[in-house]
Structure 1
């Protein structure tokens, strides 16, 4: 990654990382005084605090998906149709995470008919064009296609604390293709979690080999009859469907211009630092460890201090009267 004198832009996939925080911490151990679960809130906030402390971004934004469909489900109604229902303990935590971001003065961005990935891609492109260093934090492999010399993907390997850095070289080493070719690889292999069909019998290694030989999905489809082996015959049988609909390719490729967003819409931070101050979440009636942004050059950044709302409460030791 090239050194940038124009700052660092940190972009976070809100729901993707919140889900990982939710499943990484026991829900029964975290709750508000009114019983609202907060394990995802605590895990997400801790992760964000760590990212801010370690990378010291000058600009920050968190992108969220909105309920309902997108232009992808209009194109392919079965897109993400096999996913399990959202756990009921997770749903009430999303508004709380947005409240925490508001207390931190970190913009939470969303747009109807688009996914968070599309917003991340738009801001990443604008940051790259502005000469910034860009860090994208997401557990969605589709964001691999955003990686370039100035855009690095931080992909969670376990929970939200162990993040793998995907640079162009790291992508090529793991998948055998350039980051910009990842949508072609995903279209050939398919994506079970998104209910996207691939070519039967084609795995990542075969797909990467074909992409290297034929230059990409379009070249493979145009030469489908010449691709050898059983997988080649399967590709020939499905090439007409892929060419006519392009469904898998459309769904795995991120749209990079869903809005007229500008980098200036994300407030710049000068040496972001946490200072302890309790911020009240009005709807949950809980105190969150918080955070006013103040420049404090040269001073260490304390970790957020969890309050009683996110700690397991010890049972009362008072004897009954």
Structure 2
């Protein structure tokens, strides 16, 4: 029997991508209330496009929340140096969730955790129910979740363009297993997330170490076998390496429960057009009108 399919999307990734794609030319598309809608409308268009491509049975939207996460408690510099979002984007964070809810989608988040953690937790939960999960995001960190029950689609430029990963395509490109992406990031660090890993070890060296030893722990156990330069770098930044390993791993035990039935995708109706009119979403209304036709 064919498995049920659930589509989980990183709402913040879709919203940011849509916003910056149009903000570069100042296409903010304000509604009658004076709220910019460029990001929100692009977010919904991305969502509709992914649903059409995936032919989803069930759909959920995961979000980051403000106020920091457990990673900030572990490492104070975690994402600390990211610039503040543009003024035109700020009101669209809550607006996007409100509109997603009005259109019948379930918004999923948990204080103290990132959207990635929610995505990972749900994918892990649904696999035990015999469900296949596809995750749509712009963040390659989520690729560590790829397995026989979980595909990841990375957004590319435009709508409906994805780089699709399953275990085979991942290994062919990265030359390591998906779970080893955690170890790779631990060595390399992540400048966007604000942790350095091991200074002086880049992707090429880190990949070689992982292919040779398997994981960070085994490299540490055999550190004296390494060339002197690599050994010194790892020993110097040993504590940061261990910390980075924890920061890089997606947490799959977030205290959330979302029954699969709650995510059932019911499609759209004429009422959806009224919702678009209410929120001033002219672009989305045109897309939905095409679907309903």
CA distance in 2, matches of 1:39, 1:108: 20
CA distance in 2, matches of 1:101, 1:151: 24
Deviation at 1:126, TM superposition (A): 1.4
Q: Which runs of 5+ in 1 are unaligned?
A: 292-301, 307-321
Which is further off, 105-114 or 217-226?
217-226
1:310 paired residue number: none
Q: In the alignment, is the contact (CA less than 8 A) between 1:46 and 1:304 conserved in 2?
A: no
Deviation at 1:158, TM superposition (A): 2.3
1:196 paired residue number: 195
Deviation at 1:231, TM superposition (A): 3.1
Q: Secondary structure at the match of 1:77?
A: coil
Q: Deviations over 1:102-142 (max 9, x none)?
A: 12211001111111111100111112221112110112222
CA distance in 1, matches of 2:86, 2:289: 27
Q: Which runs of 5+ in 2 are unaligned?
A: none
Deviation at 1:280, TM superposition (A): 3.4
Q: Secondary structure at the match of 1:212?
A: helix
1:286 paired residue number: 280
Q: Secondary structure at the match of 1:169?
A: helix
Which has the larger Rg? 1
Q: Secondary structure at the match of 2:138?
A: coil
1:35 paired residue number: 34
2:13 paired residue number: 16
1:254 to 228, 239, 250: 250
- Number of residue pairs aligned between Structure 1 and Structure 2: 287
Q: Structure 1's 29 and 258: CA in aligned 2 closer, same or farther, altered over 3 A?
A: closer
CA distance in 2, matches of 1:279, 1:76: 46
CA distance in 2, matches of 1:227, 1:242: 19
1:172 paired residue number: 171
TM-score (norm 1): 0.82
Higher helix content, 1 or 2: 2
Q: Secondary structure at the match of 1:25?
A: helix
1:304 paired residue number: 288
Q: In the alignment, is the contact (CA less than 8 A) between 1:185 and 1:208 conserved in 2?
A: yes
2:83 paired residue number: 84
Q: In the alignment, is the contact (CA less than 8 A) between 1:134 and 1:150 conserved in 2?
A: yes
Question: How much is the aligned-residue C-alpha RMSD, in angstroms?
Answer: 2.3
CA distance in 2, matches of 1:133, 1:288: 34
